């Protein structure tokens, strides 16, 4: 079993356990009382490129990154010019949770992406109830029918769906599922290797109408400028910001503006 398979299996177990404690029909009722969503899609087109700044405590590829406070980190990211936030909510491999998302959203005025391994509609209702403005759907772990159904459900609840791909075949699957926001992950989720040419290459096969987010591996302003030149609208950055002594200044520097 690959690491990705292990993560997915773990999320399926988690959903079964949580749904026993809080039945889906109760969660649905709570989710319909969610706060008014913030416009995640619009935020992605605010810059050249916009930055989606990520909060996480660790990852399988990077190990332990730190234990920053999600609220303070969200405020720093907003100060540094982030257009949106990405909050890791997977509990085992990334040590995250929906509480992190709630704290980060309450501490800033930025739209927030629930970044997780979504494998069941229960997680989409959870995201809505927690106030997420967008969710991540990973083509590598979902069928075509699941991608389309989950995207449609998210949008019906006022959230955007960022459909994540790693190659041209996955990009075609995302488009067939109706994706209008495509995240291109430079990291191969099975090998964990990062290649910054992936986003540039896959972007060329996507329609101009598609909003494109490049993910993983970015650490300097020149790399962001290359993305902008390639027609990429936003870049998701986490590790380099979280390891910085001053995340706000580090983000401003990546954007090429004074802190």
φ/ψ of 15, rounded to 5, equals -60, -45
114 forms beta bridges with 87, 135
Active-site entry in 164, 170, 186, 239: 164
Active-site entry in 50, 56, 86, 129: 56
User: 126 an active-site residue?
Assistant: no
- Tell me how far apart the alpha carbons of residues 197 and 191 are, in angstroms, rounded to a whole number: 16
User: 54 an active-site residue?
Assistant: yes
* Tokens, residue 67: 């234990």
Active-site entry in 115, 126, 129, 170: 115
User: 59 an active-site residue?
Assistant: no
- Mark 66-95 as b/e (b = at least 16 C-beta within 10 Å): eebebbebbbbbbbbbbbbbbbbbbeebbb
Cα 151 from chain centre: 14
Active-site entry in 59, 86, 185, 186: 185
- Sorted by sequence, the CB contacts under 8 Å of residue 134 that are 6+ apart come out as 40, 41, 84, 111, 112, 113, 114, 154, 159, 160, 161, 162, 181
**Residue 44 contacts residue 252 (beta carbons within 8 Å):** no
User: 25 an active-site residue?
Assistant: no
User: 115 an active-site residue?
Assistant: yes
Find the radius of gyration of the CA atoms of the chain: 17
* Tokens, residue 140: 């590598």
Active-site entry in 126, 129, 215, 239: 215
Active-site entry in 50, 108, 186, 216: 216
User: 129 an active-site residue?
Assistant: no
**Residue 166 contacts residue 195 (beta carbons within 8 Å):** no
User: 185 an active-site residue?
Assistant: yes
DSSP classification of residue 203: H
**Residue 54 contacts residue 241 (beta carbons within 8 Å):** yes
| Catalytic residue ranges | 54, 56, 115, 164, 185, 215-216
């Amino acid at each position: 079993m690959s690491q990705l398979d292990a993560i997915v299996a773990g999320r399926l177990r988690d959903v079964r356990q949580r749904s026993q404690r809080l039945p889906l029909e109760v969660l649905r009722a709570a989710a319909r009382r969610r706060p008014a969503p913030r416009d995640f899609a619009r935020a992605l087109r605010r810059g050249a490129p916009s930055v989606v700044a990520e909060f996480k405590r660790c990852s399988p590829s990077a190990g332990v990154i730190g234990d920053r406070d999600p609220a303070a980190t969200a405020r720093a990211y907003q100060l540094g010019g982030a257009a949106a936030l990405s909050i890791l909510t997977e509990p085992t491999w990334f040590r995250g949770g929906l509480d992190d998302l709630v704290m980060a959203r309450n501490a800033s005025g930025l739209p927030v992406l629930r970044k997780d391994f979504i494998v069941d509609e229960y997680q989409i209702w959870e995201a809505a109830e927690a106030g997420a403005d967008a969710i991540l759907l990973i083509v590598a772990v979902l069928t075509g029918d699941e991608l389309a159904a989950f995207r449609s459900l998210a949008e019906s609840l006022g959230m955007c769906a960022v459909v994540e791909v790693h190659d041209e075949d996955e990009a075609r699957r995302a488009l067939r599922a109706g994706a209008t926001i495509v995240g291109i992950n430079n990291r191969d989720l099975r090998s964990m290797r990062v290649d910054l040419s992936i986003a540039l290459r896959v972007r060329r096969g996507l329609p101009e109408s598609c909003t494109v987010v490049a993910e993983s591996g970015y650490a300097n302003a020149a790399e962001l400028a290359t993305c902008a030149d390639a027609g990429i609208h936003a870049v998701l950055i986490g590790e380099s910001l979280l390891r910085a002594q001053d995340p706000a200044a580090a983000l401003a520097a990546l954007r090429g503006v004074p802190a």
